[in-house]
Chains A and B, each alone.
Chain A
Amino acid sequence: MSDNSLMVSDVRQPRNRLRPKSPNNRTKTYLPVLLIAPSVILLILLIAYPLIFALRNSFYFWNLQTSPEPVQFVGLANYRMVLSGPEFLPSLWNTLVLAVSGTATQFFLGLAIALLLANKLPGMSVSRAILIMPTTIAPVVVGFLFRYMYDPSGGLATWLLNVVGIGAPAAGILGSVNTSLVAILVADTWQWTPFFAITLYAALLSVSPDLIEAARLDGASALTILWRIKLPLILKTALILLILRFMQLFNTFDLVLVLTRGGPGTSSRTLGYTLYQQGLVEFNIGMASATTWLIVIIVNAIVGLYAFFAFRKWDW
């Protein structure tokens, strides 16, 4: 891996020479942009339409069940209704709890498994190849899988909790206000911890053994080596993985749809599910549009701040 990155930088240097200096063929100058343009234009069209659609309709009263067209301009009423409604703030809170605790749990559990795999005992490479399986499954299917596990009458997880002596809630793991969000968190953690385990394992392998040997000779403990040498060296990778996972968790919706539909009450409602409820169950396009823009603003603020601090010093 260290050899690899060396190679890449070797390639990069002469790349500057590609910048056409000869004026004999002017089209060359535009070629790089022309090659990127189709993808950017298609993506902008695909993204801009929903955003503009939602922006416009967030100012209108419009329920698709009663009218095929927006009914009436209502100013900021939709935003007021969303923000003062009983669903938005609990959803936002649940979403943040889910995203923060889920990302942290998955990262550290994944790191622990990566360190376990790094022992390279016989059989571990096969285990590594199989371990990633949960991550390959569609979230909807993971939802079904865990709904079966959590079933109050015959679920394996319910049974295990009772056998171990913790005891599953009487209303069922998914039916109890106290455990519904945790149940979603566990399902997502089951699916995505292997993702961190496999990628962090690969990142750890890329750290030069000489460097670790040198630190060990200087008397650094295994934990010091991990925190002070290994982790800083894989920081760049870790930062991308963390924000990706955080945002995927932030957008969680398939799992909630299959497992709890946000219930009981609003105990496991996420922003994604609230939006689904407003738009595709109640068909209140005006309110769903307002929620969309609130989410867009929140997401952009999070990603923007993160990118500013995390990627500021990057050289591409």
Chain B
Amino acid sequence: MAGQTSFIRNLALYALLALTMLFFIGPILWFMMLAIRPPSSAFAMPPEFTFTPTANALIYTMVDPGENAPQAVNSMIVAIGAVVLNLPFSVPAAYSLSRFKIRGKKYIMLWYLGLLMAPPVAFLIPYFILMKNIGLSGSYLSMVLVLQTLTIPFSIWLMKSFIDEVPFEIEEAARVDGASYLTILTRIILPLVIPGLVVTSMFAFVFAWNNAAFPLVLSSQKTATLPIGTLGYFASTGVTWSYIASAAVVAMLPPMIIFLVFDKYVVRGLTFGALKG
């Protein structure tokens, strides 16, 4: 009897799970299919669940003429640049906030967090004019620089949670031996938190990669990132959905892969280190 009720219960749970997965993953698969659909099938009514796949749109966007391929490279340059520039600012700050008793630490931490809640659109026009005035308009550097308002606070929170986990005793032993704090940071702490550094960089990369607001006003035709490229198809006459989907799928892949590979740290990344997962 008990076995039977738990069987029914499990069946119900699996049905719920299936429904949940269908709702959240179904649309992604449906959109990915759009990239390889023949155009006649894209808006068929009723929807066509089977079709002969074609690589035409993917080839058009990425290879020949491949207008979106350089944009993918631009996205990569900007996101990697944003991560690389952020580390020398955020790692020392995270170490300091993790290890020292600082007056008002709570408010500093909350201030960083507050920056992540700032309305991005409010900054677009001033940055647009600022970058024009200092001659950085349309440059990679302008985007990388402005993205620091997101990557630095994020990395400080996440890195701090990793440094918090390094036992204090390790440092104390080095202190007794007369090592300076900077030696301790670079020679002892950093090697120990390399996994944390990699995880932080990866999620900061996703943060920067997915940002469309800043490139929208700061990029030029040459430095446009992938989301801007997809927006371009929208503005031109006649929306070519298979091209949009092709470019968008390429934009979707790196964050998805990072989240799957670093699955163990996803909760930690999403909560800025507040939850270990």
Chain A residues within an 8 Å CB radius of B34: 148
Residue from A36, A124, A272, A279 with most neighbouring chain B CB atoms (10 Å)? A36
Contact A134 B24 (CB under 8 A): yes
Report, as a range, how many residues of chain A touch the other chain.
35 or more
Chain B 41-73 interface mask (CB, 8 Å, partner A; 1/0): 011111100000000000000000000000000
Contact B152 A39 (CB under 8 A): yes
CB of A55, distance to nearest CB on chain B (Å): 10
| Bound CA–CA A159/B168 (angstroms) | 60
Q: A50-B127, A129-B260, A148-B31 are in contact. Are A116 and B118 (CB under 8 A)?
A: no
Q: A39-B89, A130-B21, A316-B109 are in contact. Are A285 and B256 (CB under 8 A)?
A: no
Set B43, B45, B115, B213: member contacting A253, Cβ < 8 A: B213
Set B43, B93, B230: member contacting A154, Cβ < 8 A: B43
CB of A141, distance to nearest CB on chain B (Å): 5
Q: A36-B96, A132-B266, A275-B122 are in contact. Are A138 and B181 (CB under 8 A)?
A: no
Chain A residues within an 8 Å CB radius of B112: 43
Q: A129-B260, A254-B213 are in contact. Are A140 and B266 (CB under 8 A)?
A: no
Residue B114 CB within 8 A of the other chain: yes
CB of B31, distance to nearest CB on chain A (Å): 5
CB of B78, distance to nearest CB on chain A (Å): 13
Chain A, 65-120, CB within 8 A of any chain B CB: 113, 116, 119
Chain B residues within an 8 Å CB radius of A131: 20-21, 24-25
Chain A residues within an 8 Å CB radius of B271: 199, 237, 240-241
Contact A42 B47 (CB under 8 A): no
Contact B101 A141 (CB under 8 A): no
Contact B99 A15 (CB under 8 A): yes
Chain A 276-292 interface mask (CB, 8 Å, partner B; 1/0): 10011000010011001
| Bound CA–CA A146/B276 (angstroms) | 32
Chain B 224-261 interface mask (CB, 8 Å, partner A; 1/0): 00010011001000000100110010011001101110
Contact B217 A121 (CB under 8 A): no
Chain B 77-110 interface mask (CB, 8 Å, partner A; 1/0): 0000000000011101101110111100110111
Give the number of residues in B that approach A within 8 Å (Cβ atoms).
Answer: 103
Set A39, A137, A203: member contacting B275, Cβ < 8 A: A203
Contact B99 A18 (CB under 8 A): yes
Contact A139 B119 (CB under 8 A): no
Contact A240 B28 (CB under 8 A): no
Chain B, 148-177, CB within 8 A of any chain A CB: 148-149, 152-153, 156, 164-165, 167-168, 172
Residue B193 CB within 8 A of the other chain: no
Q: A141-B230, A251-B119 are in contact. Are A133 and B259 (CB under 8 A)?
A: yes
Chain B, 116-166, CB within 8 A of any chain A CB: 116-130, 145-146, 148-149, 152-153, 156, 164-165
Chain A residues within an 8 Å CB radius of B209: 138
| Bound CA–CA A56/B212 (angstroms) | 27
CB of B75, distance to nearest CB on chain A (Å): 10
**B residues within 8 Å of A by Cβ?**
10, 13-14, 16-17, 20-21, 23-25, 27-28, 30-31, 34, 42-47, 88-90, 92-93, 95-97, 99-102, 105-106, 108-110, 112-130, 145-146, 148-149, 152-153, 156, 164-165, 167-168, 172, 181, 206, 209-213, 216-217, 227, 230-231, 234, 241, 244-245, 248, 251-252, 255-256, 258-260, 263, 266-267, 270-272, 274-277
**A residues within 8 Å of B by Cβ?**
1, 4, 7-8, 11, 14-16, 18-19, 28, 31-33, 35-36, 38-40, 42-43, 46-47, 49-50, 53-54, 64, 113, 116, 119, 121, 123-124, 127, 129-141, 144-146, 148-149, 151, 153-156, 159, 190, 193-195, 198-199, 202-203, 206, 236-237, 240-241, 243-244, 247-248, 250-251, 253-254, 258, 271-273, 275-276, 279-280, 285, 288-289, 292, 295-296, 299, 303, 307, 311, 314, 316
Known: A119-B13, A144-B248, A296-B119. 16 other contacts (CB 8 A): A15-B100, A40-B93, A47-B149, A54-B122, A121-B13, A129-B266, A137-B255, A144-B234, A148-B245, A149-B30, A154-B45, A240-B272, A251-B121, A253-B120, A280-B128, A299-B119
8 sample A-B contacts, Cβ–Cβ < 8 Å, listed by A number? A1-B276, A15-B101, A38-B93, A136-B259, A153-B45, A156-B30, A237-B274, A244-B117
